[in-house]
């Protein structure tokens, strides 16, 4: 009898672990819609900011890349990829985090030497 109880506990533990892993890569339909709208805005802001620094050929290429990225990130594609087990939180979230971080830092940090020396001063005062 205790063996059956142990097997049931093991099965429940495996099911819980599986659910936790599934939850890491699954989001709701409402979240997918919101994600698409937000990604479209964020990518647009970053691309438009960078377009000012590019020549016309570069602008066209960047715009094509932007359009392709937004099209790839539409809600139907995200739902389909999710059904196939695609981990878009990792595939999209991590690169987008890096891009937005670099974008913000580039706008805030116009003089890297000045910022680095400021950071060094902070470390010295602790």
Torsion angle defined by CA atoms of residues 63, 65, 66 and 69, in that order, rounded to the nearest 10 degrees: 160
* Whole-prediction pTM: 0.45
Distance CA 29, CA 38 (A): 14
For the chain, the distance separating the N- and C-terminal CA atoms, rounded to the nearest angstrom, is 61
Give residue 51's pLDDT: 63
Q: What is the pLDDT of residue 16?
A: 94
Most confident range (mean pLDDT) of 65-69, 94-98, 113-117 is 94-98
Q: 126 in helix, strand or coil?
A: coil
pLDDT number for residue 15:
94
Q: Which of 19-23, 89-93, 107-111 has the lowest mean pLDDT?
A: 107-111
The string of pLDDT tens digits covering residues 12-60 is 999 999 888 877 767 777 887 887 788 778 777 777 776 666 677 877 7
């Amino acid at each position: 009898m205790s063996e059956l109880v142990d097997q049931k506990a093991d099965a429940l533990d495996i099911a819980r672990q599986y659910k936790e892993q599934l939850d890491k890569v699954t989001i709701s339909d409402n979240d997918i819609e919101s994600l698409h709208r937000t990604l479209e805005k964020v990518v647009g802001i970053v691309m438009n900011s960078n377009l000012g620094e590019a020549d016309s050929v570069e602008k066209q290429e960047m715009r094509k890349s932007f359009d392709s990225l937004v099209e790839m990130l539409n809600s139907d594609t995200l739902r389909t990829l999710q059904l196939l087990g695609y981990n878009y939180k990792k595939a999209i979230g991590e690169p987008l985090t890096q891009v937005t971080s670099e974008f913000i830092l580039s706008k805030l940090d116009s003089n890297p030497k000045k910022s680095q020396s400021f950071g060094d001063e902070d470390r010295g005062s602790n």
